[in-house]
Amino acid sequence: MSPLVTLVAFSFVSAAASSGPDRAKSEISIIELPSGRSLQAEVLRSPRDRARGLMFRPSLPADRVLLFVLDAPGFHSFWMKNCRFPIDIVWLDEERRVVHVAESVPPCRRDPCPSYAPMRKALFVVEMNAGLARREGLTIGAPLVFTLDR
């Protein structure tokens, strides 16, 4: 990575880390899992919010998930840079059905961080506490139900 790219990336991460109060204004949706359980989803739409994701957060409450709304279906990859705890990453297609699950993805401990990507195109991604996807039966084809503003 060139020094300029490293500097820009560091500046972006530093700015994202200092913008914690923005989370209080987040859009919240309810996601219904195939088991019948409902979870609160913090909806992340902007590139900045999606890039920040779970970075620098000490934990994720048991009844919460992050819902990434992507710009277009694709093979969107995720990494665990500056994350502090393992998570499950669940990719969903346009019909909100599971197309891929990465279970118990560990925090990145050294650069370069590994990336995790789906096997099929996805339009949404849900990040949740490690182990929840398996406990709730989130397998390929499982539907998740949620509504979004706008």
Tell me the one-letter amino acid at 101.
V
pTM for the complete prediction? 0.82
The pLDDT tens digits for 25-71 are 679 999 999 999 999 999 999 999 999 999 999 999 999 999 999 99
Instruction: Domain ranges for the chain, please list them.
Output: 22-135
CB 99 within 8 A of CB 93: yes
* CATH classification number, 22-135, choose in 3.40.190.10, 2.60.120.1140, 1.20.1440.130, 1.10.760.10: 2.60.120.1140
Res 11 pLDDT > 70: no
Considering only CA atoms, which of 66, 84, 82 is closest in space to residue 128?
66
Closest to 140 measured CA to CA, from 123, 118, 108, 115: 118
For residue 5, the surrounding DSSP H or E stretch is: helix 3-17
What amino acid occupies position 105?
A: V
- Beta bridge pairs of residue 27: 43
Interval 67-122: pLDDT, tens: 999 999 999 999 999 999 999 999 999 999 999 999 999 999 999 999 999 999 99
| Residue 128, pLDDT above cutoff 70 | yes
